[in-house]
Structure 1
Amino acid sequence: MTPKQQRGEATVELLLDAALRVYSEEGEQGLTVNAVTKASGVSLGSLYHHFGSIDGLVDALLLRWLERLLGELVTALQSTRTARTGVRSLVRAYLRFVREHPEVSMLLHSSRADRLGMTQAARLRDAQEARLTPLTEWVRHHVERGEVAPLPLPLIESLVLGPVVGTTRRWLTFGDVDLEEAARILPDRIWRSLSADPQ
């Protein structure tokens, strides 16, 4: 890597870190070009050069942390042997990530992230394909073994992540959910909805 490329990467890191800091302190309304350049010490021209706009910067920040979350979910599944223990590990890994990164989780579960997901769903899936493929393969494997009900993949995804995302949003918004309790209760409740033998 050339010195110029190294400087470019360092600038990108400064901008992404500053954007998260500004979002954490000021919320989405405070996430402006001026606020980010001031917090990062990076010039306006550099922000536009690397990201094109403040929207491009925030999208890159969302993608960075989405990739990290998906990576942690994949890692959680890789150490499990059964579908049931996989569901338990995935739910707990998701809630642990939220607890450890509340500011990031606020961004990942924001209306801005929802808008990005709705308008750029195909691009997001393509960008995260390397992370999503192991999750998809894990589901297929356990459907083929007869552990998971043979439901359409989008429904399985909704049955697993729907309750976790809903709980996360409740915790982030109202704070009236105990994430430790949720990590104990949700896995078995979710498993009942997925199991090929719900008894």
Structure 2
Amino acid sequence: MARPSRKDEILQAALACVTEQGVDGTTIEMIRDRSGASIGSLYHHFGNKERIIAALYMSGTAQYAQMLQRGFASADSAEACVRLLVTSYIDWVVANPDWARFILHSRSRVEAGEMGDALREANREHFAQIFAALAEYRQQGLFKALPDDCFASVVIGPTQDLARNWLAGRTRSELRDCRELLAQIAWDSVRNGG
């Protein structure tokens, strides 16, 4: 396994700090101390705390997007693609609960900050890749006719809601135990004739 880059080490340190102290309570000095990086290295890689926070957010969402792309490469049906959207999300959240919690609570901050345009562009690319993977199935009429933003909300919305509650400790059910149920609900909700 490859050794993490200095940039990745800084991001992991930042995640640990924001998990323990919250975003507002985390200082660049805390991140420096936790990562062992020099101030010069922090500023070289990121520039400031807000850029570290944005990079942390975008790195986490990019991991999920990469999982999806690997999955789409072997998904061989409309149902498999929709199920993949749900199961990959759950798998990533269960494997990365602190990062997922950070992402769920930090989107508006990143969008409002200096990296907001970069986040919006990354989101556009992410959704374009999803809809490209689904395009042939949509053309075949295998999905209900839904606007793109509505389609995405119907597929992933219930899963994100349960994940948010699970991450906050407000569920009795384990998120991973609901994986197949939520995937089936997503498929049933968007398939044509469902």
Deviation of 1:118 after TM superposition, in Å, equals 6.4
Structure-2 separation of matches of 1:83 and 1:117 = 32
Q: Which moved more, 1:114-123 or 1:91-100?
A: 114-123
Structure-2 separation of matches of 1:178 and 1:12 = 33
Q: Report what 1:23 is aligned to.
A: 18
Structure-2 separation of matches of 1:52 and 1:122 = 17
TM-score w.r.t. length of structure 2: 0.85
Matches within 5 A, 1:18-167: 18-110=13-105, 112-117=106-111, 122-127=117-122, 131-167=126-162
- Residue type of the partner of 1:106? R
| Count of matched residue positions in the alignment of Structure 1 and Structure 2 | 189
Q: Deviation digits for residues 39-65 of structure 1, max 9, x if unmatched?
A: 112222332333221011110111111
Q: Deviation digits for residues 145-164 of structure 1, max 9, x if unmatched?
A: 11111211111111112111
- RMSD of aligned C-alpha atoms? 2.3
Does residue 1:190 correspond to 2:186, yes or no?
yes
- Residue type of the partner of 1:79? S
**Which has the bigger relative contact order, CA under 8 A and spacing at least 6?**
2
Cα 1:74–1:175 shift into 2, 3 Å: farther
Structure-1 separation of matches of 2:17 and 2:158 = 29
Unaligned runs of 5+ in 1: 1-8
Cα 1:158–1:121 shift into 2, 3 Å: farther
TM-score w.r.t. length of structure 1: 0.83
- Residue type of the partner of 2:38? S
Structure-2 separation of matches of 1:47 and 1:180 = 36
User: Identity, % of aligned pairs?
Assistant: 26
Structure-1 separation of matches of 2:71 and 2:33 = 38
Unaligned runs of 5+ in 2: none
